[in-house]
Amino acid sequence: MEHSIRLVPLDDGEFAKLTADVDLPVEQSLAWDAYDRAVPGRRPWKRFAFLLDEEPAAVVALSEYLGRGFHYLWAKHGPVWLTEPTPELERALRERLVTGVRAVDPRLAFVRLHAAHPAEDLHPLLQSVTYDRTVVVELDGRSDDELLAGMKKRGRRDLRKGLREQPVECTEETGAPDFEPFYEVLRETAERDGFGVHPMSVYTTMLDALGPQHARLFVGRHDGAVQAWVIVTVHDGLATAYYAASTAAGRVHDVPTQLYWHIIRTLRDEGARSFDFMGIGSELAPSLEALTTMKTKFNPEPTEVAPAWDVPVRPLTYTALTKALAAKRSAVAAARRAVPAARRAVSREEETA
């Protein structure tokens, strides 16, 4: 039996009406537009409904990004499926989306979106890290005792020991006038764990553009010093740990465990139904493995999610970008290897001088 399949553009009002009873990730919501507009090189693009036999099967919101010399679209945590996304339905949506994108704006090199089923048209991300496993804690109707019972045994032990022996001051500081102390903690975290950080404006703009209804800053202090913080997004009862950082001292005091416990209970009391720790390690995302132990303290059973993929709109351009990025990474790796070698050579010369 053949099905009628269409991709239909939606204005904001149509999108709001269609998704009134749908729990949307914040990135797929109308609220995200303010953040896209506030960040240089980004803007909201278009929204679509994917119709199967004239019934909505999925919705997707796309943001336009300007990379270094190329444009692309990013449907963060989209499409949002209203029915079970089979491989055939996922492929049909992508085909119609690529055809439409190519017709509307030939400058766009690729579309980045999420898909549960690998396929030939899906490519690993040019840049950035995706994940296919996360940790979700269900909050709706659960007491403190029930939340504790759902934790890993080690997680309960660490939390209780910390609360008893090294209590942490946990506060919400969403309206903090100065983000610099928190950014310093992020710099330390990045240097220790080997990842890059955005300019400070990315984090402050997120808080300002989304506002306290959708973006919250929680902070953990020990002896008055900031030792951990988390930016949490909230939309349609879904809370997500979007950015987080902790100092080496904070790890010694296990500040993150107490801070997350405070956040989870606070958001539960405010009506949030779930809390997503946003990504742990797997074969697809080995760079996130260091986060797994901490996050699975709160739920030992990971949740499988659809990872993000790149879908070329202009295949030749995308191939060229892939090769250019591979060459850049190779050059950076060679430079990093050369630095210690040069230092050893200088050291040997000094020893023989």
Q: Which two tokens stand for residue 25?
A: 């990730």
In 136-224, which ranges are E strands? 136-138, 169-172, 215-222
pLDDT at 346 over 50: no
In contact, 78 and 61? CB cutoff 8 Å: yes
Between strands 108-114 and 308-312, the pairing is: antiparallel
Q: Which two tokens stand for residue 53?
A: 């036999």
pLDDT band for position 121 (cuts 50, 70, 90): very high
pLDDT at 186 over 50: yes
In 67-105, which ranges are E strands? 71-74, 80-81
Domains and CATH numbers, the chain: 5-128+308-333 (3.40.630.30), 133-304 (3.40.630.30)
Which whole number is the average pLDDT over 270-294?
A: 96
Tell me what percent of the residues of the chain surpass a pLDDT of 70: 93
Cis before 340 (ω within 30): no
pLDDT at 342 over 60: no
Put simply, whether the predicted model's pTM sits higher than 0.85 gets the answer yes
Q: Tell me, what DSSP letter sits at residue 123?
A: B
Distance between CA 86 and CA 267 in Å, rounded? 34
* Residue 120, H or E segment: none
> What's the mean pLDDT when you consider all of the chain?
93
pLDDT band for position 35 (cuts 50, 70, 90): very high
Distance between CA 29 and CA 207 in Å, rounded? 16
